[in-house]
A and B are shown apart, each in its own frame.
Chain A
């Protein structure tokens, strides 16, 4: 039991962060606009949550230009994928009890 709780990750303890990770688990990358549309978050809100995940090194940011428009896109790191998998497994185990 203790072990399971230990795998529940505080970094994913928010709807927006959970959503960002879910999208990045099944998509190689997602840009800011796509995440915003999917999660229904404001610019500021989404930016603060991506920054939090970035700090944990769960996602990486790539900034580039498409033509003249700046484009920010995110992808999950290996560390992030593993952490998220563990988190989901822990929730599933808790639910099975």
Chain B
């Protein structure tokens, strides 16, 4: 066999190892959209709190319920957009949306995220909600780092950034809102664009 054929073999081996263990059709555009939803959602929350006449949030108020609904809608819209756009990208790449790699990706992502979600909910019910923004960033970051093994590798850097933002935020809990805007809004748009320009097209 010639050198060229051996080179082709090595490329084929790497390609198969990657393709069978990583889900590459994660859509960058959906990251950008998630960032935009987060910014719109944050603006709505900011408005709600400012018309309430208080500078801060109280747990048993009507405003608090609206903000919870606002957060749920952001999360739901982001997930639906990610599924739809990744499905479209997978089709283009001749990959299926639901395969071994994407199943692993989802379970690696959900385990830290759901743990964090439950933890935050427990804290809120015990009236400890001062660190909610920080905890959301930290657990989301951990979920991203954990999931990055099964998708486009540089997702882990977004995870590191979210964790660092979350940790800094825990020192300045009164600025939690702005850290949240930076982590879930701005960073998603920046990182989504990076993936979009490097992988989507």
A residues near B (Cβ < 8 Å) are 15, 18-19, 22-23, 25-27, 30, 34, 37-39, 88, 91-92, 94-95
Is B96 positioned at the interface, with any CB of A under 8 Å from its CB? yes
B20-77 at interface with A (beta carbon < 8 Å): 20-21
Main secondary structure, interface of B, reads helix
Q: Which residues of B contact A26 (CB under 8 A)?
A: 17, 20-21
Do A22 and B12 form a contact, CB below 8 Å, given A27-B21, A94-B3, A95-B7? yes
Is B167 positioned at the interface, with any CB of A under 8 Å from its CB? no
Interchain CA distance A27-B19 in the complex, whole Å: 11
Task: Encode contact with A along B84-116: 1 for CB under 8 Å, 0 otherwise.
Answer: 000000000000100110000000000000000
B residues near A (Cβ < 8 Å) are 3, 6-7, 9-10, 12-14, 16-17, 19-21, 96, 99-100
Interchain CA distance A60-B154 in the complex, whole Å: 35
CB distance from B62 to the nearest CB of A (A): 49
CB distance from A89 to the nearest CB of B (A): 11
Interchain CA distance A94-B10 in the complex, whole Å: 12
CB distance from A95 to the nearest CB of B (A): 6
Q: Which residues of B contact A39 (CB under 8 A)?
A: 16
Q: Is the CB of B6 within 8 A of A37?
A: no
Q: Which residues of A contact B14 (CB under 8 A)?
A: 22
Give which listed residue, B3, B20, B99, B100, contacts A22 with CB less than 8 A. Answer: B20
Q: Which residues of A contact B13 (CB under 8 A)?
A: 18, 22, 88
Q: Is the CB of B6 within 8 A of A22?
A: no
Q: Which residues of A contact B7 (CB under 8 A)?
A: 95
Most buried by A among B12, B13, B21: B13
Given contacts A91-B9, A95-B3, list 4 more A-B pairs with CB under 8 A: A22-B14, A27-B21, A34-B99, A88-B10
